[in-house]
Amino acid sequence: MRRIIERPFLDYLKPNLHEVDSVAYNLPALIRWKRVINPFNFMLGLIGLSLVVGIFSNIALSFCIGLIGFMCYSYIRTRSLAKKLYVSRELNKKKLFQSDDVIVTYKLVNASLATSPPMRIRDLLSFSDQPNRDLEVPFLLPARSHRSLELHLKADGGMGVRRVGPLSLTITDPFGIFEFSVLEDDEFEVEVLPRIGEVPELRLKGAPHSNRYGIYDVQSIGSSVNFVGVREYEQGDSLRNIAWKLSAKRGELFVKEFESMVNAEIALFLNLRPNIHQGAPGYSTWELTKDIALSLVTQQVANSNSVRVFTQQFFIENLRGQQDTYELAQQLLKVDPLRKYLDGTVHHDDEETSPSSADLLHKYVAMQRPGSNVILITPFLTYESTALISHLKGLREMGCEVFVILIDSQSYFTRISKRVENSMKFSSPTMTGVDRFADQLSVMGVHVAIIDSEQSIADSLLKMRVAL
């Protein structure tokens, strides 16, 4: 819906105590005093002064009347121009993937009989890591004409459903006295899908109790090419496995036995506790955790492995196909605390009661079977390390193969420390010592990878520290 919005009268009179980016401050003489004065209250002061002097001078009174007439003319003309200006927006892609190059095209139309004044476009593009866009239009629009303006950016605001709009076009008169906005408040949502990358294979263990065919050998009888031994023939054994030479020598039938080829069972734990993550939308340990999870699940499902996913927010049982992977992606898209931070809907008490990674392992430890694989993806925090070691040691004693992917929060903290707006961060001493902690886990028999902000997921997993 298109609306013309006039700047409230009281806003003109208030001194601006914050940084001003309005097009109303184009006059060099006002730059120094722009926080306490603007063209509107400057003109009011001039009118008041000339009115007082006009008591004693007809020239000053005439000047006062002339100023009032000029302001009335500027108001009517600027408002009329605003009614004849139109702005619209188009994206070059209807479906976005993370880090896609996006071109936003703004179409400006001037249907009036006069050249447009200076214009500024304000738009909300929440699929970008800088959602609030404020663009000064670098040209004036002649009468009865139209023109386009392109904005090139990346879809780096994180995966999930992102809002686009409202869109506004702000104009002032040539002296910056009056300000009007053409508001197009029709909003819509665009879904930013994850870009799933390839990751190296982990050294997983085949499930000894599995009855599904896979790519892992286990020390139970099956049908792989790895020979185990021979035994006497039993009814129902395949004729292909009969050891003919040995049977002829012994005078009775013997069959060959091979190792079983089975799939792996994987329990994937994601630490999605909101208050421990670092970063801004699109560049955060939160987004990295989800990216790693989707890459691993996609790979393991393709290997016919069974994956269960555990988080503080949801639990998904037995992901085994592409549709199940899509279900996980949809669940992860819905969990978005960084956006809730910006909206002010996340409460501190809710975060404190959210389980830690150690609590998450403890909650679901009874669901893990001996011989299965446990993968934990979590940002590293010093105060969680002691409890985490205890629970990981318990999983190792159960016979589970354990992998821990530690996200180096300190590296993210360092890079975002200068970006105060739209970010979540806390004291850096709580994030130091990740290498020492990784060494402790390796000695316990845990495979450990450290992922920092400087390396890709694949490169970091290639450097995984194999359990000692």
Angle (deg, nearest 10), helices 58-83 and 39-54: 150
What pLDDT sits at residue 104? 96
The most distant pair of C-alpha atoms in the chain lies apart, rounded to whole Å, by 137
Q: Tell me the domain boundaries of the chain.
A: 1-193, 213-262, 265-462
**Per DSSP, what are the bridge partners of residue 450?**
406
Cα 407 to Cα 346: distance, rounded to the nearest angstrom: 23
Q: Compute CA distances 345 → 286, 348, 456, whole Å.
A: 17, 10, 32
Cα 175 to Cα 40: distance, rounded to the nearest angstrom: 9
Q: Please check whether the domain covering 265-462 is classified as CATH 3.40.190.
A: no
Per-residue tokens: 209:
């109790």
Residues of the chain with pLDDT under 50: 17-33, 210-225, 260-262, 341-351, 420-427
What pLDDT sits at residue 429? 57
Supply the pTM of this predicted model.
Answer: 0.70
What pLDDT sits at residue 98? 87
- Is 206 in a helix, a strand, or coil? coil
Q: Compute CA distances 11 → 16, 62, 203, 330, whole Å.
A: 9, 28, 64, 44
In three state form, how does the secondary structure of 400-413 look?
A: CEEEEEEECHHHHH
Is 265-462 in the same CATH topology as 1-193? no
**Rg value, the chain, Cα:** 33
CB atoms within 10 A of CB 246: 14
What pLDDT sits at residue 181? 93
Per-residue tokens: 113:
């009989």
What pLDDT sits at residue 318? 77
Question: What are the phi and psi torsion angles at 119 (to 5°)?
Answer: -125, 155
Best CA proximity match to 25, nearest among 42, 38, 43, 12 = 38
Distance between alpha carbon 411 and the CA centroid of its chain, in Å?
18
What pLDDT sits at residue 228? 62
| CB 448 within 8 Å of CB 404 | yes
Cα 127 to Cα 190: distance, rounded to the nearest angstrom: 8
Per-residue tokens: 31:
């730059």
What pLDDT sits at residue 265? 86
Superfamily of domain 1-193: Immunoglobulins (2.60.40.10)
What pLDDT sits at residue 432? 75
Cα 109 to Cα 371: distance, rounded to the nearest angstrom: 67
